[in-house]
Chain A
């Protein structure tokens, strides 16, 4: 009895000490080492390169079948949950619309919770997690603010307005931090915003620079907008996360669709820099170069998931997966496109929407939404989650109701039972498909690949899978409370033990038709 009390008191003391402990890192040096770090998952896509590759090997192809759920933390919030848990010094940080949580990453004990009180209308509930640096967390909001929280306590440190959310702006990306700057872009193209990318000072949220994603006047690219008036609502969202080349200081950013989404006659031209990856000088915000995936899009086919960068055969490569259902790879040294391969089936991609309706595959909830490729230097393969799902796009009235959806038409989706999810492995050098796994439900969540030879993925039926990275064979499968997964899996070591943490729950409008199950963080480990 005495022993039980002692253990209980010790446990409570540990929780109390963790909640109150000062968090001084991660330092810039730790962030620079994020790709190799074993004890943390420091960014939405693991590291600045975005490749979601973990060097951990304790859980591997020989023992992953023994994986067990250690614990679950349910937020009891039915809102969208598309995080990949950020983990630092044994603490996992997750976010939803207004809430930010710090959770013990070994036993799911809640350390603190912060509940944001918005001052403006919230456009969309989705938030994809925090950036962490020097004892601070940074996150966006549904009313287009940027917040800094104390990582040890959840106390609000500062709050700045990025844009006016009554005009459709919000900030849902997981930001990244580099050299005392926070990088965060505007979201809201479907609501008729005019997107900008921003850099903010970590100390007080003051602005460092802006970049106009929709160029006007004398700015380069303005001539790709045949109607200057249409640029005021031209779109160009940034709504997932960002990638950075630490060696060159170049920032890689996926830019979403032009608006109105379907009525391209309203905005004739190529509509730069929508549906593109732009590369900026991170210190100044000046454009270095760009790659456009779709010119004058009329089907809401964002380039949205963050691009990834990696070295292959001595060359700097950049790969990005799009909502249109393609994987693009470029040699970023020569700025040449190496290949464009299908991640879904395709129908009528070149046919414009009509008032009667044009049948298309994929529809705007298909392809790769907020989760980009993972890359393993061990297998030299790219791993892509995609959704094969068709529909009918219709042209409609172009009417702007400020702060509300600005589609200029509509998209009718097939019955959800016809939708398929894929996890596909491609040879990174050639784009040749190596294997494909079909989980039986859609797979909008992130893919993680490990040095232990595992590809970790999930689906909207609540299943989590560990696949053999070389063959795609299923080595482990479990269902997490039938909670549709739209988040990703982070993996990390605490006190020498490897864990896997997955964000599951209602996965958002990108996975329409699934049952609502409250968001939860589930943590797995070997027995």
Chain B
């Protein structure tokens, strides 16, 4: 029993070390891609949203004929998806009358506005960029 315990202890140490290493690597990766968008993006997003999206999704992003883009219902629906998934769906299917008609910067700004309205509080110096989107999900 003692030998076996020792054996498992060593195995545990080895596995634990490996886990810590992977975890440390993960933290490192996340540190390089901390979620960030600028206030200018939020402002542009709000302006663009008001012109292009508000009729179907509502002034409070609460959903009208289109689905909610803020609140529990939205987060329940999108929580498992990456920001890139959201960008893909939004930029290929919206605005409904003319999908894909907005610029990349406008779509990114709307995504920043949606994040900010949902309380992600990630206003910073670094703009939300398309290459960052796969690193994050709609989970707080």
Chain A residues in the interface with B (C-beta under 8 A): 78-80, 120-125, 166, 394, 396-397, 399, 401-405, 407, 409-413, 416, 506-509, 511-513, 515-516
Question: Within the complex, what minimum Cβ distance (angstroms) separates B137 from chain A?
Answer: 12
Question: Within the complex, what minimum Cβ distance (angstroms) separates A513 from chain B?
Answer: 7
Whether B99 contacts A516 by the Cβ 8 Å rule is: no
B8-16, B29-37, B59-67, B111-119: which lies at the interface: B59-67
Question: Within the complex, what minimum Cβ distance (angstroms) separates B84 from chain A?
Answer: 9
Does B19 make an interface contact (CB < 8 A)? no
Instruction: Compute how far the CA of A328 lies from the CA of B92 in the bound complex, rounded to whole angstroms.
Output: 33
Of all chain A residues, which has the CB nearest B93?
A405
Instruction: Compute how far the CA of A407 lies from the CA of B99 in the bound complex, rounded to whole angstroms.
Output: 11
Instruction: Compute how far the CA of A79 lies from the CA of B73 in the bound complex, rounded to whole angstroms.
Output: 14
Chain B residues in the interface with A (C-beta under 8 A): 55-56, 58, 63-67, 73, 76-77, 80-81, 85, 88-89, 92-93, 96-101
Residues of A within 8 A of B80 (CB): 166, 402
Of all chain B residues, which has the CB nearest A120?
B76
Whether B93 contacts A124 by the Cβ 8 Å rule is: no
Q: For the A-B complex with A125-B67, A394-B99, A412-B99 known, give 10 more contacts whose Cβ atoms are closer than 8 Å.
A: A121-B77, A123-B77, A166-B80, A401-B88, A403-B81, A404-B85, A407-B93, A409-B92, A512-B56, A513-B55
Whether A79 contacts B63 by the Cβ 8 Å rule is: yes
Whether A403 contacts B77 by the Cβ 8 Å rule is: yes
Whether A508 contacts B101 by the Cβ 8 Å rule is: no
Whether A401 contacts B97 by the Cβ 8 Å rule is: no
Residues of A within 8 A of B81 (CB): 401, 403-404
Whether A416 contacts B97 by the Cβ 8 Å rule is: yes
| Contact A401 to B85, CB < 8 A, known contacts A512-B65, A516-B55 | yes
Residues of B within 8 A of A515 (CB): 55
Selected contact of B89 from candidates A401, A506, A509, CB within 8 Å: A401
| Contact A78 to B58, CB < 8 A, known contacts A121-B77, A508-B65 | yes
Question: Within the complex, what minimum Cβ distance (angstroms) separates B87 from chain A?
Answer: 10
Question: Within the complex, what minimum Cβ distance (angstroms) separates A514 from chain B?
Answer: 8
Instruction: Compute how far the CA of A125 lies from the CA of B63 in the bound complex, rounded to whole angstroms.
Output: 9
Question: Within the complex, what minimum Cβ distance (angstroms) separates B82 from chain A?
Answer: 9
Residues of B within 8 A of A513 (CB): 55, 97
Instruction: Compute how far the CA of A95 lies from the CA of B99 in the bound complex, rounded to whole angstroms.
Output: 30
Please give me the 7 A-B residue pairs with the lowest Cβ-Cβ distance, nearest first.
Answer: A410-B99, A121-B77, A413-B97, A401-B85, A78-B64, A121-B76, A404-B89
Residues of B within 8 A of A416 (CB): 97
Whether A397 contacts B92 by the Cβ 8 Å rule is: yes
Whether A413 contacts B76 by the Cβ 8 Å rule is: no
Question: Within the complex, what minimum Cβ distance (angstroms) separates B90 from chain A?
Answer: 10
| Contact A506 to B77, CB < 8 A, known contacts A404-B85, A407-B93, A410-B93 | no
Selected contact of A407 from candidates B63, B65, B76, B92, CB within 8 Å: B92
Selected contact of A506 from candidates B65, B85, B93, CB within 8 Å: B65
Of all chain B residues, which has the CB nearest A415?
B97
Residues of B within 8 A of A401 (CB): 81, 85, 88-89
Question: Within the complex, what minimum Cβ distance (angstroms) separates B117 from chain A?
Answer: 18
Offer 10 A-B interface pairs, CB within 8 angstroms, sorted by A: A79-B63, A122-B67, A122-B73, A123-B67, A397-B88, A404-B85, A405-B93, A409-B92, A410-B100, A506-B65
Question: Within the complex, what minimum Cβ distance (angstroms) separates B70 from chain A?
Answer: 14
